Structure 1
Amino acid sequence: MTVALIGAGNMGGALVERLCEAQWAVTVCDIDPLRQWQALAAGASLADTPLAAVAQLGNEGALLLVVVDADQCREVLWGDQGASVGLRPGHTVVLCPTIAPEDTISIAERLALQGIACIDAPMSGGPQRARDGRMSLMVAAPAAVLERHADLLAALSLNVMRISERVGDGARTKLVNNLLAGINLVGAAEVLALAGRMGLDLSTTLDVIERSSGQSWIGSDRMRRAIANDLVPRAHVTLLEKDTRLAVAAARSSGFEGPLGASAAGVFKAASEAGMADLDDAALLSFLRQTAPRP
């Protein structure tokens, strides 16, 4: 029951706490001293490099990558002091970030040349749900690989959804989900900005939406924080900017272009460029209130 985890940020740190609580032996590599301290406090061991992090893995150990994008995945695996040098046949890499399907596939194919298995396993739900085991974990890999790591997947989440045996389908599913999340969040921010312009109380308006046909989980979650002016980052604007951009690109590569996806992606891009990149994506409400033109 040994795991190495690279990237102990908001989501990764929640997974570290959950695994340590379940008595897994976890080695963490993260460049942020605060995240290192939090991992130690949770009961994990620390490693200075990805290569050092995998040194203690057992014969069927797993390396969890909880980084931001495909470039960081490749750097962790094949960069200076990269983990791939220390990985052996029998080990498995679990890819948790939201990345393009083609990147997931290329990483898995490169690992396969070394005899290393790969689980395509993007996550959804936010840090608190990850900590509580209520996040969605979308997994795609050959059935034998998933069975071999069934205990680990169950420890990570109570909501493990097997998408298929085709690596890349987890990434595809996550992009579809996150495009809808982005559309819903832009929509929620837009209508509350409109409510404010009409002179309505935002909290009362959101009460009505939550009990009516306009309700969405991400809308309620983010807009409650926005109304309270609580913009401490749980999910930065840059994340849905990246995810909606990747989703729109994946749609176009499939020969599909809908009416809403590109518009939502454009809002996240504009908010990021307006200086909100590092704020919680609940900041979308204030962005739209500031930028919506007046007659």
Structure 2
Amino acid sequence: MNTTLSVGWIGLGAMGTPMSLVTARAGHRVTAYDMSPQALEAVAPDVASAESARAAAEGADVVVIMVATGPQLEAVLFGEAGIAEVLSPETTVMVMSTVGPRAMDEATARLLPTTSHVVDAPVSGGVARARTGDLLVMVSGTEDDVASARPLLDAMAGNAPVVGGRPGDGQRFKVVNQLLCGVHIAAAGEALALADSMGLDVAQCHEVMNTGAAASFMFNDRGQRMVAEEFDEARSALNIFVKDMGLVTDAARQVEQPVPLAASAEQLYLRGRREGLGLKDDSVVYDLLRRR
């Protein structure tokens, strides 16, 4: 079986850009569309440019969608210039955005008259791991559909477990992932703000706590940015967690599951956006909490 695929790529944001590049450098033929000409220039010449989403998708073996929100996914697929009209019954659509279970379920159902080949594959790991093809991808879909996308997953991911047999299960796993990430960032900010308020050496507190049971990936990673006060370069914007914690609480509401810690963290991120910090790095929650 030929493992070189033609890929239509839609969305070249902070994550989509390095993901498309590692895919192309693994030998796949990638043609991308993004509304930003600068984003298209940034991936040339490894990734070819298309003038529209439809042009990128037409004739592709796999169409990868890496947009930010559920409404953007709907617009890409079914909007006025949506790609659904140019897909064939053989096209595999792989959604790698974090859009939530509801949006994924609705998109899968609406695609059925066009193609039944849908892979739900949201990613986690951040920009640095995207650049090295070492992401965690939570994959769901039929065995055959996942197999058809596996060469791309192998290029982008260090770990790409199949977490369910239906599109939507990947989003459900990602919701659990984002609950943990969002709460851990908020907890890191709260802990270091408390240390600061008590007059402790915040850098030493971060160093010491990372050697014990209180350590976590987010406390280590975001805590470094909190200590250094590196809020302006948004490696992961606070607005992302406004969206993602909203997806967490929405998914929990659908199954009547209380998520009090996630709800509290969501309110912190919403407060940050209301205070004009949405485009700052999400580690800015530390600064938000220590303001007096």
Taking structure 2 as the reference length, the TM-score comes to 0.95
Query: Secondary structure of the residue that 1:98 maps to in structure 2?
Result: coil
Query: Secondary structure of the residue that 1:245 maps to in structure 2?
Result: helix
Structure 2 match to 1:247? 248
Structure 1 residues 25-74: Cα deviation after superposition (integer angstroms, max 9, x where no partner): 11111111221111114x111012110111342xxx11111100111111
Structure 1 match to 2:110? 110
Structure 2 match to 1:14? 18
Structure 2 match to 1:44? 47
Contact 2:59–2:87 (8 Å) recurs in 1: no
Structure 2 match to 1:287? 288
Structure 1 residues 230-289: Cα deviation after superposition (integer angstroms, max 9, x where no partner): 220121111111111111121122111033111011111111111101111011111111
Structure 2 match to 1:5? 9
Contact 2:189–2:226 (8 Å) recurs in 1: no
Query: Secondary structure of the residue that 2:98 maps to in structure 1?
Result: coil
Worse overlay, 8-17 or 226-235: 226-235
- Determine if the alignment matches structure 1 residue 55 to structure 2 residue 54: no
CA distance in 2, matches of 1:33, 1:201: 45
Within 5 Å, give how 1:172-251 maps onto structure 2: 172-231=172-231, 232-251=233-252
Structure 1 residues 87-144: Cα deviation after superposition (integer angstroms, max 9, x where no partner): 1011111111112212101101111211241111111111111111221100110111
Query: Secondary structure of the residue that 2:114 maps to in structure 1?
Result: coil
Structure 2 match to 1:75? 75
**Residue segments in structure 1 that go unaligned for 5+ positions in a row:** none
The structure-2 alpha-carbon separation of the partners of 1:181 and 1:90, relative to structure 1 and needing over 3 Å to count, comes to: same
Moved over 6 A (4+): none
CA distance in 1, matches of 2:12, 2:234: 15
Contact 2:122–2:171 (8 Å) recurs in 1: yes
Contact 2:238–2:279 (8 Å) recurs in 1: yes
Structure 1 counterpart of 2:115, one-letter code: G
Contact 1:17–1:39 (8 Å) recurs in 2: yes
- Counting aligned pairs with the same residue, the percent is 31
Structure 2 match to 1:84? 84
Aligned length in residues: 287
CA distance in 2, matches of 1:90, 1:221: 42
Query: Secondary structure of the residue that 1:279 maps to in structure 2?
Result: coil
* Pairwise CA distance, 1:170: 0.7
Structure 2 counterpart of 1:203, one-letter code: A
Structure 1 counterpart of 2:255, one-letter code: S
**Residue segments in structure 2 that go unaligned for 5+ positions in a row:** none
Structure 2 match to 1:276? 277
Contact 2:33–2:49 (8 Å) recurs in 1: yes
CA distance in 1, matches of 2:79, 2:254: 29
Query: Secondary structure of the residue that 1:221 maps to in structure 2?
Result: helix
Structure 2 counterpart of 1:264, one-letter code: A
Structure 1 counterpart of 2:184, one-letter code: N
Alpha-carbon RMSD: 1.2
Structure 2 counterpart of 1:259, one-letter code: P
Structure 2 match to 1:144? 144
CA distance in 2, matches of 1:288, 1:208: 21
CA distance in 2, matches of 1:66, 1:19: 13
CA distance in 1, matches of 2:69, 2:141: 20
Structure 2 match to 1:24? 28
CA distance in 2, matches of 1:80, 1:258: 37
Query: Secondary structure of the residue that 1:136 maps to in structure 2?
Result: strand
